[in-house]
Structure 1
Amino acid sequence: MKIVTWNVNSLKVRLPHVLDWLAEHRPDALCLQELKLEDPAFPHEELAAAGYQAVSNGQKTYNGVAILTPVAAEDVARDIPGFADEQKRIVAATVNGVRVICGYFPNGQAVGSEKFEYKLRWLAALTEWVRDELRRHPKLVLTGDFNIAPEARDAHPDWKEEIHVSPQEREAFRALTALGLTDAFRLFEQPEKSYSWWDYRQGAFRRNFGLRIDHILVSEPLRAACRSCTVDKAPRKLERPSDHAPVVLELDA
């Protein structure tokens, strides 16, 4: 089974890239973030022609998430139960017996800001919900753009901003893994300075000045089934790319 997360930073703009990637890699679940379009505008016809269907949770201009699958997804859920939020950041579904949660985590803007406090509240609510989901679905994958680089090695040494690397954000990431989730990327030996996001500015991708903020966390019953987890940089090299690259998990499940 192949599960992928990719912040496409506008599905309307990046749809040709997504369709080409689907045709080449044929994932069992492609989790997309930052769609930047409402559900009525979702490109179901184009995806159906490529052999995929989708469940989405979108909004105009900002945010938005979707899970693309070649088979019908089951038990679909949207948003964090009990957490009042106008921002569309969560969609979940069961795919081939695996519970897949796709999230676009808040950016936080700056440590100490109102948006940062919202990020911490959102993370706390997510953690409690995922705890419940794990009780119902032992085989679970939590994936998406976390907007958190969980360890020092996940940020370029010259990264000077507090956001994405603050102690509060990293502690929130550890709270998620403490539920019984494992960062699949770190199950395998990886190259130094492995990142999944590079700013558009100042030649960041060319200089590999990035952050690893796109993650795939797996529950304990899936840990032994993981075969590889990699960042596919190829789409980041295309014309008009997303600033994120897909992260690809392959597992026996």
Structure 2
Amino acid sequence: MRVAESAPEPRSVLLWAVLGLEAGDFRRVLDPHWRVVAVLGSSDLAVMTPLLLTVAHGLWALARGDVLRAKESFGSAVRRLPKAYRLPDPGDGCPRAALRPAPESDDVDDAVARLARLLWREQHGIDRLTIRVKEIEPADAFLEAIGQEATWTTHDIFFLAAVRDRRHTRFPVPTPRQRKALCERATVIVRLDRPNAGPVDLSSRVWRMAGGYEAWFAELIAYLGEAESPAPWRNARGAETVPVRPGCQRLWEHARGARGDRIAWT
């Protein structure tokens, strides 16, 4: 199935953009073609465009592994939300989005509600990761980096579609499965809690001796296979109806399927 590159009619482009961002398709909003449609669209769309772009840039930063920049972008996006969807700044300069009930329609107000829930999802995920980093070793951060990368590349339909259509160089993310890029991702993760921490450096020799990417990925799949849900934030009250990004969902389903096969055949 081909992922459409062109946008729909202006009357529905706002919902089209928001649903795309919910799914992690930041390219949809950052694409220059979409910006032309936005300019020619309704006044509601014109008002929403800066917020949509800020969220899209935050998602792109996550896809690149730049969690700190993503956190800043999401904080900036929250400042653009109506007061009812904002929580006080917890002290790190990034106000948080409030988790409100799921929207019931597709009008402009509900588009804002969808974006607020998306921002809550991503901010809550970063906050949980920041807490977890306090308790893990660099090797665990490296494993986390592999999981992050997989959800934005090999298990993300939008990345795969962009590669197939040769559009992935417009808004690039690091080439999957590369040791150096994964070390850089892991370093950013560690610095969520320890800003002055040194780089996570897995030498090429250790990488090869450990079995390379395949061995690390197998470890990740074994770990995720024990998880009861595709995202830890799903346990939060009221989060049951918040959409899980498809890349996360697919990776978790792969891990759970592998676990089931292992139990059945060993």
Q: Which has the larger radius of gyration?
A: 2
Q: Greater helix percent: which structure? A: 2
Name the TM tier (shorter chain).
Answer: under 0.3
Report the TM-score when normalising by structure 2: 0.26
Larger relative strand fraction: 1
